[in-house]
């Protein structure tokens, strides 16, 4: 008889067929906060000079924008939960709705994010996972097609 109060089998990622369980997050595997700070800073270095994206940010809040991106990405990739503790649920589509996120804006955002990831020099497996995520996230943010 199956006791429905007992949890089912757990999936455990292992380093090989009989290897140790992998318990570290991508956040810790790539170097934690310093790596995510580099990514966010490099990203906004490009965005500040972008004629389409820069106007979407208040001139006096670049530091805040950098913190929000870093904290969000850290939380997403298994780091500290500071973003949600301070800002609540990410609600990315809702937070981006006031801005015209067109296909051109998406492409520009991705160009700056890919440059930031190039600067971070992540290991191939982590780099591929990160780029896959940002590609999907950027596509989901498009809210205008004019």
Q: Give phi and psi for 14, each to the nearest 5.
A: -120, 155
What's the pLDDT tens digit per position in 11-66? Answer: 455 556 666 655 688 999 999 999 999 999 999 999 999 999 999 998 899 999 99
Helix (H, G, I), strand (E, B) or coil at 50: coil
What's the pLDDT tens digit per position in 72-113? Answer: 999 999 999 999 998 888 888 888 888 889 999 999 999 999
pTM of the model: 0.82
Rg (CA), the chain: 18
Q: What is the DSSP letter of 9?
A: P
Residue ranges and CATH numbers for the domains of the chain are: 26-141 (1.10.490.10)
User: Could you tell me which residues are beta bridge partners of residue 14?
Assistant: 21
Helix (H, G, I), strand (E, B) or coil at 75: helix
């Amino acid at each position: 008889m199956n006791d429905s109060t007992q949890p089912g089998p757990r999936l455990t990622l292992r380093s090989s067929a009989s290897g140790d369980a992998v318990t570290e997050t991508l956040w810790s595997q790539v170097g934690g906060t310093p790596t995510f700070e580099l990514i966010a800073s490099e990203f906004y270095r490009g965005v500040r000079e972008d004629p389409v994206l820069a106007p979407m940010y208040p001139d006096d809040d670049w530091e805040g924008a950098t913190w929000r991106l870093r904290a969000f990405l850290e939380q997403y990739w298994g780091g500290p939960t500071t973003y949600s503790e301070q800002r609540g649920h990410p609600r990315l589509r809702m937070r981006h709705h006031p801005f015209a996120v067109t296909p051109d804006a998406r492409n520009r955002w991705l160009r700056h994010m890919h440059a930031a990831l190039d600067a971070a020099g992540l290991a191939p497996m982590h780099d591929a996972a990160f780029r896959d995520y940002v590609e999907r996230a950027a596509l989901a943010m498009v809210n205008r097609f004019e």
